[in-house]
């Protein structure tokens, strides 16, 4: 049974042109044998010298040689088409593999980013907390006492990194001179604000490097930390803004 399947597979894999050539060759050779037998029987005195036999064989096999030459060209053309198709498929597979490798690399970079982002957001939560304490805590205007500040910092430690940023955004600071005063009213507040902005900008650069669509960076900018960053930019004193622009240009 296995041998029969192999034979059937062998027959199916052969090109029809090969079978055509084999059939024509067999018929042609059979006709040649029949012709030689007929001539030998009807004309026994026919000259069968070496030269005559050579001329006969040359004339007999020349059509077969031409036939197989043409068939070979067609078969070669088919193989070239098949090889071209295989090369195309190989190229597509290589392209898919390249895309898969790029996607895997991007996923690895994104996973690394999110691990780093957790630590950076914790750092930003602490910086915004220090800024909030300096403006509204016991060392600032005194709107909030130490127990309230401790509660907020405990929430930061528990993972709520944006608590102080949300407080900055949602509260009214007219009594303390407005948001500009809270962010840049003293050298310490200015230092905290600059540190916050610098750290957040570095985080955004990391996000751009691992997300070509900018979705991660957009989500950062729309978070409480990002909204606080935008307010820091908006209320930044002109001399601070000019000095930063000069440093960037340099």
- pLDDT tens profile 86-129: 888 888 888 888 888 888 888 888 888 999 999 999 999 999 99
pLDDT digit string, tens, across residues 74-98: 778 878 888 888 888 888 888 888 8
Angle at 103 between CA 213 and CA 224, to 5 degrees: 40
DSSP string, 62-89: HHHHHHHHHHHHHHHHHHHHHHHHHHHH
Mean pLDDT along residues 33-42 = 73
- Segment 199-217 shows an average pLDDT of 90
Question: For 13-23, how does the pLDDT look when each residue is reduced to its tens digit (9 = 90+)?
Answer: 556 777 787 88
Percent of the chain with pLDDT over 70: 83
DSSP for 82-97, written as a single string: HHHHHHHHHHHHHHHH
Residues in the chain: 250
Confidence band (pLDDT; 50, 70, 90) for 250?
Answer: very low
């Amino acid at each position: 049974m296995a041998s029969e399947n192999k034979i059937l597979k062998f027959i199916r894999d052969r090109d029809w042109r090969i079978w055509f050539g084999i059939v024509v060759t067999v018929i042609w050779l059979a006709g040649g044998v029949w012709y030689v037998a007929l001539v030998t029987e009807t004309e026994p005195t026919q000259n069968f010298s070496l030269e005559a036999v050579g001329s006969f064989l040359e004339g007999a096999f020349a059509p077969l040689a031409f036939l197989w030459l043409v068939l070979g060209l067609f078969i070669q053309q088919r193989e070239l088409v098949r090889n071209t198709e295989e090369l195309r498929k190989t190229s597509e597979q290589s392209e898919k593999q390249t895309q898969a490798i790029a996607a895997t690399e991007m996923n690895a970079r994104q996973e690394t980013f999110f691990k780093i982002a957790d630590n950076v957001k914790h750092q930003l939560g602490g910086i915004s907390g220090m800024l909030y304490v300096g403006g509204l805590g016991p060392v600032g205007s005194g709107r909030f006492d130490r127990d309230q500040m401790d509660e907020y910092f405990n929430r930061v430690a528990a993972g709520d990194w944006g608590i102080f940023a949300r407080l900055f955004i949602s509260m009214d600071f007219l009594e303390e001179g407005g948001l500009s005063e809270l962010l840049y009213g003293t050298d310490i507040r200015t230092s905290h604000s600059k540190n916050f902005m610098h750290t957040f900008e570095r985080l955004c650069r990391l996000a751009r490097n691992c997300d070509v669509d900018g979705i991660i960076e957009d989500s950062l900018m729309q978070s409480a930390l990002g909204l606080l960053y935008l307010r820091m930019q908006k209320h930044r004193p002109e001399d601070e803004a000019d000095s930063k622009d000069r440093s960037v240009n340099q």
